[in-house]
C-alpha cells in the first residue's frame, strides 16, 4: 500500500513504479488492486452516474459557506439531514461502488472523480465524436445531460441552436471584432462601454418578474 500513499511522489523515488504512473492516482491504485478485486464489476453506467450524482449533492452541502443542515430532495420524500449524516452517505455510496467494481473500473472511476481521465482527447474532440452539433449546443446550454438527450442520433442535425432563458450558457464566447468596423456592423454611432471588474462572474436571466442567477 506504500505506492498508494505516495502516489504523487516522483517515480524515481517510489519503491515500485513506472514513469507513466507519475501523478496518476488511478493507475497507481490499479497496480495495487488488480489482483485483489472482482474480475467483472456489477455496476452499469446508469448506476454509476446515479451514485456520482448523489455524492456530488451530499458533498456540496458540506462545503464551507453552506448551511450544515440543508434540505435534500429525494425521489420519495423531502428530508432534512445534518452534515455528519451527509458525510456518511458520501462514504457509503463511494464504498459500495469500490466494492462492486473491478480494478480497471475503479481506476476509471478514480480518474473521473479527480477529473484526470488521461485519454489524450479534449472537450472539443469528445463532443465532435458524439455529434457534429454537440460542441455548439454545449456552448449555449452548458449541460452534457441536455446534449446527450437532444443529440442522441448523430444522423439528425440540429438546425437551430440558440441561447434559452433560464438555461446557463458558457460565457466569453463572443466573436472577436475589429473596433474600426463596429459602427458599420452595428449600424449606429452611439455605444455604451462597461468597465470590466475582477471578481465572480454571474449570469442574470430575466423574464418579466421572474429572475434566475447563475454563477461559476
Which residue among the candidates 19, 115, 181, 196 is catalytic per the annotation? 196
- The residues near 41 (Cβ < 8 Å, ≥ 6 apart) are 100, 101, 102, 105
Residue with cell 505516495: 6
Write out the three cell numbers for 131. Answer: 455529434
d(CA 85, CA 94): 14
In angstroms, the Cα distances linking 181 to 44, 175, 189, 191, 194 are 54, 13, 11, 13, 19
Task: Give catalytic status of residue 184 as yes or no.
Answer: no
Q: Which helix (H) or strand (E) holds 215?
A: strand 210-215
**Which residues belong to the active site?**
196
Amino acid at each position: 500500500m506504500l505506492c498508494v500513499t505516495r502516489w504523487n511522489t516522483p517515480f524515481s523515488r517510489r519503491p515500485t513504479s513506472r514513469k507513466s504512473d507519475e501523478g496518476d492516482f488511478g493507475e497507481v491504485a490499479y497496480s495495487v488492486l488488480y489482483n485483489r478485486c472482482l474480475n467483472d464489476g456489477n455496476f452499469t453506467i446508469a448506476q454509476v452516474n446515479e451514485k456520482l450524482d448523489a455524492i456530488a449533492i451530499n458533498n456540496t452541502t458540506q462545503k464551507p459557506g453552506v448551511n450544515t443542515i440543508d434540505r435534500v430532495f429525494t425521489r420519495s420524500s423531502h428530508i432534512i439531514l445534518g452534515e455528519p449524516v451527509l458525510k456518511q452517505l458520501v462514504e457509503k455510496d463511494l464504498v459500495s461502488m469500490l466494492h462492486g467494481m473491478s480494478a480497471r473500473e475503479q481506476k476509471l472511476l478514480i480518474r473521473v472523480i479527480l477529473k484526470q481521465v488521461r485519454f489524450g482527447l479534449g472537450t472539443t474532440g469528445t463532443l465532435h465524436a458524439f455529434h457534429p452539433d454537440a460542441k455548439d449546443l454545449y456552448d449555449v446550454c452548458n449541460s452534457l445531460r441536455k446534449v446527450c438527450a437532444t443529440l442522441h442520433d448523430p444522423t439528425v442535425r440540429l438546425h437551430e441552436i440558440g441561447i434559452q432563458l433560464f438555461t446557463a450558457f458558457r460565457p466569453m464566447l463572443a466573436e472577436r471584432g475589429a473596433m474600426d468596423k463596429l459602427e458599420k456592423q452595428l449600424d449606429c454611432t452611439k455605444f455604451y462601454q462597461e468597465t470590466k471588474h475582477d471578481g465572480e462572474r454571474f449570469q442574470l436571466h430575466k423574464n418579466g418578474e421572474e429572475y434566475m442567477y447563475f454563477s461559476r
